[in-house]
Amino acid sequence: MGGQYRIKGDKYPRMRRPRRRGRLVVATVASAAAVGLIGWGTLQLIDVFTGGGGEASAAGPKADCRTGATPSATPTAPAALPKPGKVTVNVFNATTRSGLAKQTADELKKRGFKIGDVGNAAKEFDKKVKGTGLLLGPAASLNTSLPVLATQLSTAERRTDPAREGEAVDLIIGNGFKELTKRADADKTLAALAEPKPTPTDKKAC
């Protein structure tokens, strides 16, 4: 080339491409974020299809967050309660009203109980039972015959006599007696005794 623009010497200017470090960093970060999102999504899908993982299943029944109690796996075994037909009841009247013993005995018989002696109460109880009644039986009847008879007069006092023999139990009618528990209500209570519901166990954190 001629003129005043003449290249002298043996060094020439070099043309460099603009640096792309910024773009490379952005691309790397975006790739890492995409991989992370894919992994998280995969874990969520696994959790959905497996029902929340093995730890929750192995932990057993979940605690009730409202009550703080965990229901027991199996209901408490019911006690060996006798049927009304296996319970012999002596009915005694400790009040001044006549006819209560026979009337009450007849009603208990209709409800399936066996009736033993019927009459006035012994001197130690005569006119001395202020409540609706007193259920009295041997020590062995505390968790057997007495609870069954108590379904028929729920407000009566229960008492056992260790020295007493036999299996019969007494219903001693007190001054506050009006009538036996309604039969429908007594039947419901009797059924509940035979089939207790599961009991709550210790509290667990939710």
149 is a domain residue: yes
User: Is pLDDT at 92 greater than 70 in this prediction?
Assistant: yes
Q: What does the pLDDT read at residue 74? A: 42
Q: What does the pLDDT read at residue 77? A: 43
Q: How far apart are the first and last CA of the chain?
A: 88
CATH number for 166? 3.30.70.2390
204 is a domain residue: no
Q: What does the pLDDT read at residue 195? A: 78
Contact 169, 88 (CB under 8 A): yes
Higher pLDDT, 154 or 201: 154
Q: What does the pLDDT read at residue 158? A: 97
166 is a domain residue: yes
- pTM, rounded to two decimals: 0.60
> For tokens 């709550």, what's the residue?
200
170 is a domain residue: yes
What is the domain count for the chain?
A: 1
Q: What does the pLDDT read at residue 26? A: 56
Residue closest to 190 by CA, chosen among 157, 160, 158, 152: 152
107 is a domain residue: yes
61 is a domain residue: no
50 is a domain residue: no
Ramachandran class of 202: left when φ > 0, alpha when ψ lies in -120 to 50, beta otherwise: beta
Neighbour-count burial for 127-157, b at 16+ CB within 10 Å, e otherwise: eebeebbbbbbbeebeebbbbbbbbbbeebb
39 is a domain residue: no
Q: What does the pLDDT read at residue 78? A: 47
For the stretch 27-79, pLDDT in tens is 665 666 666 666 666 666 556 555 555 444 444 555 555 555 455 444 444 45
For the stretch 137-177, pLDDT in tens is 999 999 999 999 999 999 999 999 999 999 999 999 999 99
Q: What does the pLDDT read at residue 19? A: 56
- The domain of 172 spans 84-194
